[in-house]
Copies of this chain bind each other. A is one copy, B any other.
């Protein structure tokens, strides 16, 4: 099925929002790393090419996490070697540690992201570290990357709730995030890894940071809150938003339930709010419809389903 001619919402600009939002597209990394099947590298390359063609300018391309943990992205070197880089598009990659940084440098990457935890339990389970020790692990990675001229983003996961600990302390999140920025991260992405956050929580955390210029948000739609949370973040001063084309990033509970906020649903909102986003929604929907065909299951994005004829 192809995309139908695309409708767009009525544009109703008003105050209180950034004039432009940078969409940090994570579909090729955060989306595909959760797929049960391994997607061929040629498909990934076409996916990235189409995303750039749809106007997205930040495409998180892959990850140098050990293939034992994320076999779906074991082809990182091959993918980067085959990448048809579009002008004006950044292709950051996820780097978990010093060995990952070595691989990234060898592959000629100029923009990386590290992945830290806002909670003790998730640090132990996901990073095999304590909460405190993770900073000792990341500091030299960031320092070396910066010395090599790379830009570094910091992801901070479990900022709004933790499946083992429940409520997460706001001050702990702020402390952890500021350490990553102090190390030399130029951006900090606040992640609601399990999708439990609601809007007042988002506003509270962003206000606790004070300076919003280096902040991004990363919401999962597990409880249907991702778009509302994103808008709360925009109104609190954030202007970089993570999302995944078609809502890629499956949830284990239901075949079509989403992981990440769908880029198309975000674009619909931004267009309606009169916030500049640079995306051709028709091309993006076509891309997600094509990718859904490659994966053999429907996109969980509402906009994709509404516009795919």
Contacts and interface: CB of A to CB of B under 8 A. Distances in A.
A70 interface: no
B198 A265 contact: no
Contact of A254 (B10, B195, B203, B298): B298
Contact of A257 (B222, B255, B305): B305
Contacts of A255: 298
A12 B167 CA distance: 11
Interface in A243-272: 251, 253-258, 262, 264-265, 268-269, 271-272
**Copies assembled:** 2
Interface stretch (A21-29, A110-118, A223-231): A223-231
Interface in A205-256: 221-225, 227-228, 231, 251, 253-256
A223 B161 contact: no
B12 A198 contact: yes
Contact of A200 (B160, B197, B203, B272): B272
A81 interface: no
A203 B14 contact: yes
Interface string A285-309: 0000000000000100111011011
Interface size bucket, A side? 35 or more
Contacts of A197: 9, 272
Contacts of A221: 302
Please name the 7 residue pairs, one residue from A and one from B, whose CB atoms are nearest each other, closest first. Answer: A198-B272, A224-B302, A224-B265, A254-B305, A12-B200, A257-B305, A228-B228
Given A10-B196, A222-B302, A255-B298, 13 more contacts: A195-B302, A198-B271, A221-B302, A224-B265, A225-B269, A225-B272, A227-B227, A228-B228, A228-B269, A254-B298, A257-B302, A257-B306, A258-B302
Interface of A: 7, 9-10, 12-14, 160-161, 166-167, 195-201, 203-204, 221-225, 227-228, 231, 251, 253-258, 262, 264-265, 268-269, 271-274, 298, 301-303, 305-306, 308-309
A309 B254 CA distance: 10
Given A161-B9, A224-B227, A227-B225, A251 B305 contact: yes
Tell me which of A195, A197, A200 has the highest count of chain B C-beta atoms within 10 A of its own C-beta: A200
